[in-house]
Structure 1
Amino acid sequence: MLQQIRKLFKQIGSSADVETHSAVDMRMISAALLVEVATVDQELEQRERDTLTQLLRQHYALDADSANVIIDEAIAKRDQSTSLFEFTQAVNDQFSERDKYLLVLQMWQVAFSDNVIEAFEEYLIRRVSELIYLPHGLFTKARAEARDMRKD
């Protein structure tokens, strides 16, 4: 997954069409972290997959097919990731504080989608929040907001 992100960033540096590549990168970055949360327990339940698709469609104005392609690519690259640090570095370089908050909110929404917060899910979201320098108050606000938004 991290190799794919690095490849996309290299494309940004070598292309005149930075805006288009930047949008693709942000979608892949978001999808990759959301997939990490969804698959941290080595299982991707249908509710989690549906939540992933819905979040990407809403946030990036994608159709279902485009969202699913991005999710499939993120899943396929999941085993290739070696470190959160390099990945979160990309988030720090491209995301505003608001974007970081929305990303963490979406991570919580994925975690809550199966109505069970696994210890590994919480650890992953907390670690990502720390690595992207999201203030703790916004981390807890995102969790509370996602909890209130969940469907039972």
Structure 2
Amino acid sequence: MLQQIRKLFEQIGNSADVEMHDEKDVRMISAALLVEVATVDQKLDPRERNTLIELLCQHYALSSHAAAEIIDEAIEQRERATSLFEFTQAVNDQFSERDKYLLVRQMWQVAFSDDVIEAFEEHLIRRVSELIYLPHGLFTRARAEARDMRSS
């Protein structure tokens, strides 16, 4: 997955028409991090997959089919992942603080979707939050909001 993201960054860096790639890249970056949460325990619960599709559809105004394709691509590329740095660097470069907050909240929503917060999921979300410089208060608020969204 990181190879795919690296390739996208190279395309952006070498292209005179950055806007053409920007929205797709943001979608893939988000999907990659959300998929990482969903699969950090080496399995993808159907509830997690449904949550991934729903979140991408809502946030990026995608059809279910388009969201599923992005998720499938992210899952296929996951095996090639070597670190979070490329993703988090892209988030730092392209996301506002509000977008970072929403991303972390979505990561929590994925984690809560199967009713079990695995230690690996929590560690991953915490690590991403630190790497994207999300203030701790927003990290805890994102978790609380995601939990409350799940119970409503």
TM-score, length-scaled by structure 2: 0.96
Q: CA deviation at 1:14?
A: 2.8
Aligned to 2:107: 107
Q: Does structure 2 conserve the Cα–Cα contact (< 8 Å) formed by 1:113 and 1:151?
A: no
How much has 1:151 moved relative to structure 2? 4.8
The 5 A counterparts of 1:1-152 are: 1-151=1-151
| Contact 2:6 2:86 survives alignment (8 Å) | no
TM-score normalised per structure 1: 0.96
> Alignment identity in percent?
80
Count of residue correspondences: 152
Q: What is the CA–CA distance in structure 1 between the aligned matches of 2:146 and 2:30, rounded to whole Å?
A: 16
Q: Give every structure 1 segment of 4 or more consecutive aligned residues whose post-TM-superposition deviation is greater than 6 Å.
A: none
- Superposition CA RMSD, Å: 1.1
The CA deviation string for residues 109-149 of structure 1, in whole angstroms up to 9 with x for no partner, is 00000011000000000000000000000000000000000
Give CA-to-partner distance per residue, 1:82-115, whole Å, 9 cap, x none. Answer: 0112221111111111110000000000000001
Residue ranges of structure 1 left out of the alignment (5+ in a row): none
| Structure 2 Cα separation of the partners of residues 20 and 109 of structure 1 | 29
